[in-house]
């Protein structure tokens, strides 16, 4: 054949192949599912579908669960907001990055600096990423100076205007009970979020989560030229529990049931010297001292029901939108929460109440409720969404849950939660192993026979311990990264944004 004729043919063929590939890519992109991710702060297993507390009313999430996969045994990467969110959004566990504390900014980790976070990855894959509310944990000396705004194409900061009913306010740190300031109040030590609760005055207008839900209602009415990745951040039931009176009225205080607890619970949690290492938390002691156990439990349930209504607003808008049949939806808490169990309120422990959280997944085509008992982790969200959306794979610490979404009875491994360097929880469907205090404290609980974790088998049953250790210890992290320096981003927003941009430009090149 004439070479002069061959070259033009080659060129035409190459152009045809390129055009075909571009066309195929556009068809593929247009068929990709949208993603709606809803994070509910400090949400424990009191959502109805998880059975943690039958009294707690969450009708919207329960209705959503009726056409979804309910993961009954989901662990968080870390039992506080910052480490858990940093892990699930970066795809790397705390022991890999050194992000162990709320004081650690994930952007100070070299590993995170060189890798795209979950929303950045989806933006890079030609998704439109949209967010409002708490998704990333905030960092910086000025409130909200770094709230993860850099990770989204469209972002709006959530704000709140509330008026608290002073006559019904309870506040441990300020020594206020039922609206009255006590003389010489007990247990007022500062630290962590303020332990306070009581109804607000007025309706829902102006409340952060309600306004976030309304914002997403409008977003779901808009037209988009490419698939979207929406991240909805609901802040309740994070402290403080201030929501409208009507949510408190859902619960008759006289009939509120307080979770079971044992005042001698720590007697068998010993270090290598045989000494007890834990003591009741100030919140627990304060509630006991002033007869507020039921009040606190009701306040948490009220805040949870309020959060559920806000989630329901978004879910209803999706159901009534043109995106209803082509959207993956994930609802999850960032970690669990104690309400008297293990003699504490709050999170930040490696016991089951703090490490386990609700996780519900709906993929297009699901018509009925399925319950999965396998042990999964929020760290699996990133690889699962990549897999479900047919995007290029990425090396991450978690693993895709797509196989479980197709067959929830598949065998699956135990999973890990980490609190500070070297402190870990390894949990399976039967056993829960905890190692902490630099390895000097070990605990083992038989979850089938002791779901409240009252009996530490390390002190009483060597045969069970040996059996469980063979199954659980291999899943301990092989190494524990040094903690990154405490966040010191004391800069103007403009300077901080420039610093972040430089770091994210590096990540987006990968």
CA dihedral of 215, 221, 224, 229, whole degrees rounded to 10:
50
Instruction: From 247, 236, 301, 241, select the one nearest 38 (Cα to Cα).
Output: 236
Catalytic entry in 56, 76, 81, 310: 81
Q: What is the chain's Cα-based Rg?
A: 24
Tokens describing residue 290 = 């002033």
Give catalytic status of residue 137 as yes or no.
yes
Q: Are 68 and 366 in contact (CB under 8 A)?
A: yes
Q: Which long-range contacts (CB under 8 A, 24 or more apart) does 494-500 make?
A: 496/140, 496/145, 496/146, 497/150, 500/107, 500/146, 500/150
Instruction: Order the strands of the 370-377 sheet from edge to edge.
Output: 154-156, 128-132, 228-234, 34-40, 327-333, 359-362, 69-75, 370-377
| 3-state secondary structure labels for all residues of 349-369 | CCCHHHHECCEEEECCCCCCC
Q: Are 80 and 347 in contact (CB under 8 A)?
A: yes
Furthest-apart CA atoms within the chain: distance in Å = 102
Catalytic entry in 60, 137, 281, 335: 137
DSSP β-bridge partners for residue 446: 431
Give catalytic status of residue 81 as yes or no.
yes
**Residue 252 CB neighbour total at 10 angstroms:** 10
483/78 Cα distance (integer angstroms): 14
- Active site residue ranges: 81, 137
């Amino acid at each position: 054949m004439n070479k002069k004729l061959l070259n033009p043919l080659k060129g035409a063929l190459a152009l045809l192949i390129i055009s075909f590939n571009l066309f195929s890519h556009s068809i593929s992109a247009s068929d990709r599912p949208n993603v709606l991710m809803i994070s509910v702060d400090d949400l424990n297993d009191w959502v109805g579908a998880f059975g943690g507390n039958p009294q707690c009313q969450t009708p919207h999430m329960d209705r959503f669960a009726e056409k979804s996969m309910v993961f009954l045994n989901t662990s968080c990467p870390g039992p506080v907001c910052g480490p858990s969110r940093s892990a699930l959004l970066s795809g790397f566990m705390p022991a890999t990055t050194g992000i162990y504390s709320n004081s650690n900014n994930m952007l100070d980790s070299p590993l995170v600096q060189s890798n795209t976070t979950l929303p950045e990855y989806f933006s890079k894959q030609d998704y439109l990423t949209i967010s409002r509310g708490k998704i990333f944990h905030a960092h910086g000396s000025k409130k909200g100076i770094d709230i993860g705004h850099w990770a989204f194409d469209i972002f709006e900061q959530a704000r709140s205007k509330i008026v608290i009913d002073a006559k019904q306010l309870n506040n441990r740190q300020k020594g206020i009970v039922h609206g009255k300031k006590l003389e010489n109040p007990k247990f007022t030590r500062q630290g962590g979020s303020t332990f306070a609760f009581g109804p607000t005055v007025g309706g829902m207008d102006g409340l952060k989560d309600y306004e976030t839900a309304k914002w997403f209602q409008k977003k779901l009415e808009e037209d988009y030229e490419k698939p979207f990745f929406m991240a909805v951040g609901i802040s309740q039931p994070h402290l403080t529990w201030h929501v409208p009176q009507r949510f408190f009225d859902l619960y008759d205080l006289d009939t509120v049931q307080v979770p079971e607890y044992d005042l001698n619970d720590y007697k068998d949690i010993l270090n290598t010297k045989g000494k007890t290492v834990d003591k009741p938390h100030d919140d627990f002691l304060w509630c006991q001292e002033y007869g507020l156990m039921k009040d606190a439990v009701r306040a948490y349930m009220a805040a949870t029901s309020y959060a559920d209504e806000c989630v329901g607003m978004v879910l209803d808008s999706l159901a009534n939108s043109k995106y209803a049949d082509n959207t993956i939806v994930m609802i999850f808490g960032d970690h669990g929460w104690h309400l008297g169990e293990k003699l504490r309120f709050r999170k930040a422990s490696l016991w089951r109440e703090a490490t386990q959280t609700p996780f519900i997944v709906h993929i297009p085509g699901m018509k009925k409720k399925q319950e999965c008992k396998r042990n999964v982790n929020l760290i699996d969200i990133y690889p699962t969404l990549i897999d479900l959306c047919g995007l290029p794979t990425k090396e991450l610490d978690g693993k895709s849950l797509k196989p479980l979404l197709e067959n929830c009875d598949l065998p699956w491994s135990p999973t890990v939660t980490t609190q500070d360097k070297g402190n870990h929880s390894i949990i399976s469907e039967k056993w829960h192993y905890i190692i902490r205090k630099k390895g000097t404290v070990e605990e083992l609980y038989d979850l089938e026979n002791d779901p409240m974790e009252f009996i530490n088998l390390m002190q009483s049953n060597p045969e069970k311990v040996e059996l469980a250790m063979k199954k659980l210890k291999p899943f301990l992290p092989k190494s524990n990264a040094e903690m990154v320096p405490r966040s010191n981003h004391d800069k103007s927003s403009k300077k901080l944004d420039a610093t972040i941009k430089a770091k994210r430009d590096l990540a987006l090149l990968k």
